[in-house]
Structure 1
Amino acid sequence: MIRAAVLPAVGAPLEITGIELPEPGPGQVRVRLAAAGVCHSDLSLSTGTMRIPVPAVLGHEGAGTVVSVGEGVTQVAPGDEVVLNWAPSCGRCPACTGGEVWLCDSALAGAAGVHARTADGTPLHPGLNVGAFAEETVVPVNCVLPLPGGVPLATGALLGCAVLTGYGAVHHSARVRAGESVAVFGVGGVGLAALQSARIAGASAVVAVDVSPEKEALARAAGATEYVIASDSTAKEIRGLTGGRGVDVAIECVGRADTIRTAWDTTRRGGRTTVVGIGGTEQKVTFHALEIFHQARTLSGCVYGNSDPAKDLPVLAEHIRAGRFDLESMVTERIGLDGIPAAFENMLAGRGGRALVVFGTPG
């Protein structure tokens, strides 16, 4: 019996309870979690903005140590340190064969399976495939990637979602070039990763936008050269910071219609807006036909940073080892499993960066 954070039903409070994990079957790996980041996607799953089968063990951004492996597994062995990959690519569908592994048709197919059981035998699904809000998890071998050397195991959990997403939004989706100006909307875990990534890309000006004045120090430490408190005049203020022109690139990490619209309005003619935030179906963004023609801007969605984790993790590890990317600075709170509901409340209130569940932490 291990402890886990279980979502019993959409909209219901999380339950920190004991669950029974099976031994790894053929092609599976059992991992003892060192840490798991609390991502806004987990909150979206709990509220039903994103749909998964329930009851489920939430958590998808994690890292840990392989405990045991099932028949046929040769890629990893007991004792190996790994990062969980919540969106593994099948390698066979049109998206994968076309080089867009982040859009794999079956990336989330595992969420429908039975992952574990409660003490009374109730079957549990793995939230976003990996069920990382638990002391241990059992996942298919394609849901683990070797943790690159020189990356701390606990903070390495952030590589599994926030860092790949923020880095990929800058380098793969928006394709920020040296000398360009960038605005990042939302200074949570993904936003902090995007700010650091914009600095790595050589952006000349990096504007961070958030509702919270308290996040300015976090944003500037991550690479922001300017900090703007979100308001009805945000676009005008950012234009004022860029000589009236607007930024070359806006990266939206909130998932709200008004923020997406503001990000679009913030970019220059011919600029690029990348939407990373996950919003609900009720969030409607409107444009009129003339402005689409006249502004000649690009608006694009971004899934998992348009990243290929197997290729991007080694690149990110080099930035971490060289001191260009600081994982530690993204973590604003270390908690136990019992602290996840409060971390959800902090996200809703716009407080803090990334909360990290460290297993063995009281609570």
Structure 2
Amino acid sequence: MKAAVLFEAKTPLSIEDVTVSLPAAREVLIRTHAVGICRSDLHFIDGAFPHPVPTVPGHEAAGVVEAVGSDVAHLKPGDHVITFFTAFCGTCEFCISGRPSLCLDPSTRRPQTAPPRLALGDGTPLAPFLNLSAYAEMMLVHENACVAISKEMPLVQAALIGCAVITGAGAIFNDSKLKPGETVAVIGAGGIGLAAVNSAKIAGAGRIIVIDPVADKRALAEKLGATDTLDAGDPDVGKKVLAMTGGGVNYAIEAVGRPETAELAWAVLRRGGTATILGMIAPGKSVTIPGPSFLSGKRMQGSLLGSTQFPVDMPRLVAMYLDGRLDLDAMVAERITLPEINDAMAKLRTGDTTRSVVVFA
């Protein structure tokens, strides 16, 4: 099969012939239909976050099950599935307490003594990327790294649910538990931020303020439910949010991954408000919060994939799309082929595009 391989950080991806192993116990072989170009992948490709190489990046995908290994209980060939990169064991402390996105149990990975899931044509093993390696015509994953969905769901839009949408929506529904009439500021109008905006509208937010430097993204945020938009380049943007809301928002969602935007999320909160940090702040970077501001009862929390309970939340998001409440069509900026992936990465570096999606024939 064809796959986009990263041989070294800060170099272009290379389209290579790759071999995929047969599914072992509790593994599922998926024919990839669509995979989103996510900034998280770019962090690894550009070397901001270290990762073993060579590897096949990609982690926001949907496809159709081709084959299953032994002991697979809930999936069968022909099932349409969305993948997610935090494969969960189902039995550890985090899983049984309702936090499967935090599971790190090694039982979902292949033993080091077993053949690799993916390898180059000469037999060189490819390091697994976030349990998925989705920039490839096929994915071989643990059964608890994907969930079956309605076959009525278009797979291009379904792919976005695998990262951007569960993260943004989860920040509203799970992390914030936003109630009707409450206010929210979303910093960053990429895929994750836009999903948070749309979800805040579904949850009945009284005011949804979006902060982003790109005018086209602010316009798209308004289409998805933002009541107000502000230019992130305005040096007084924080003060403007406080003035607009009479003291700050109930919830702030940071979807950029920079210390200054995390600090802005804290600054625009009202007393007792909560800031949720979704962006990947690079190693070595720190967030600074004025000590006395803790006396205002504000909270800052981190979140991975919106604290999603995958087998329950993902089909619900599919249902929201099918009944017309969750708008995923507007988030797809362009559909591309695998050989165009480096051009899509270059667009992502500029910050001007929403979501490019690789669609396989």
* Common fold by TM > 0.5: yes
> 1 CA distance for matches of 2:164 and 2:258?
18
Q: Which residue of structure 1 lines up, in the alignment, with residue 135 of structure 2? A: 133
Are residues 1:240 and 2:239 paired?
A: no
Shift, 1:107, TM fit: 7.2
Partner of 2:253: helix, strand, or coil? strand
Q: How does 1:37-186 map to 2 (within 5 A)?
A: 37-106=36-105, 110=109, 114-186=116-188
Show CA shifts across 1:116-171 (max 9, x none): 11122211022111111101121122222102353212211111111111110011
Alignment length (residue pairs):
357
Identity %: 38
> 2 CA distance for matches of 1:355 and 1:160?
14
> 1 CA distance for matches of 2:201 and 2:77?
37
One-letter amino acid of the counterpart of residue 241, structure 1: M
Q: Structure 1 residues 219, 147: closer, same or farther in 2, change over 3 A?
A: same
Partner of 1:228: helix, strand, or coil? strand
Q: Which residue of structure 2 lines up, in the alignment, with residue 197 of structure 1? A: 199
Partner of 1:167: helix, strand, or coil? helix
Q: Structure 1 residues 111, 53: closer, same or farther in 2, change over 3 A?
A: farther
Shift, 1:27, TM fit: 2.1
Show CA shifts across 1:298-348 (max 9, x none): 100011100111010122122112211011111111111122222222222
> 2 CA distance for matches of 1:283 and 1:338?
34
Q: Structure 1 residues 108, 348: closer, same or farther in 2, change over 3 A?
A: farther
* Equivalent position to 1:224, from 226, 247, 266: 226
Q: Which residue of structure 2 lines up, in the alignment, with residue 283 of structure 1? A: 285
> Which stretches in structure 1 are left out of the alignment for 5+ residues?
none
Partner of 2:32: helix, strand, or coil? strand
Show CA shifts across 1:68-119 (max 9, x none): 2223334222211111122121122222222221111227963996321112
Q: Which residue of structure 1 lines up, in the alignment, with residue 216 of structure 2? A: 214
Q: What's the TM-score, normalizing by structure 2? A: 0.94
Q: Which residue of structure 2 lines up, in the alignment, with residue 32 of structure 1? A: 31
> 1 CA distance for matches of 2:8 and 2:181?
48
> Which stretches in structure 2 are left out of the alignment for 5+ residues?
none
Q: Which residue of structure 1 lines up, in the alignment, with residue 309 of structure 2? A: 308
> 2 CA distance for matches of 1:85 and 1:219?
25
- The answer (yes or no) to whether the contact 2:49–2:283 under 8 Å persists in 1 is no
Q: Structure 1 residues 27, 42: closer, same or farther in 2, change over 3 A?
A: same
- The answer (yes or no) to whether the contact 1:112–1:125 under 8 Å persists in 2 is no
One-letter amino acid of the counterpart of residue 110, structure 1: R
Partner of 2:63: helix, strand, or coil? strand
Are residues 1:331 and 2:353 paired?
A: no
Show CA shifts across 1:271-302 (max 9, x none): 11100000112322112321212x22110001
Q: How does 1:4-23 map to 2 (within 5 A)?
A: 4-23=3-22
Partner of 2:256: helix, strand, or coil? coil
Q: Which residue of structure 2 lines up, in the alignment, with residue 349 of structure 1? A: 350
> 1 CA distance for matches of 2:91 and 2:171?
24
Q: What's the TM-score, normalizing by structure 1? A: 0.94
Moved more, 69-78 or 253-262: 69-78
Partner of 1:127: helix, strand, or coil? coil
> 2 CA distance for matches of 1:355 and 1:112?
34
Q: Structure 1 residues 234, 259: closer, same or farther in 2, change over 3 A?
A: same
Partner of 1:65: helix, strand, or coil? strand
Q: Structure 1 residues 148, 52: closer, same or farther in 2, change over 3 A?
A: farther
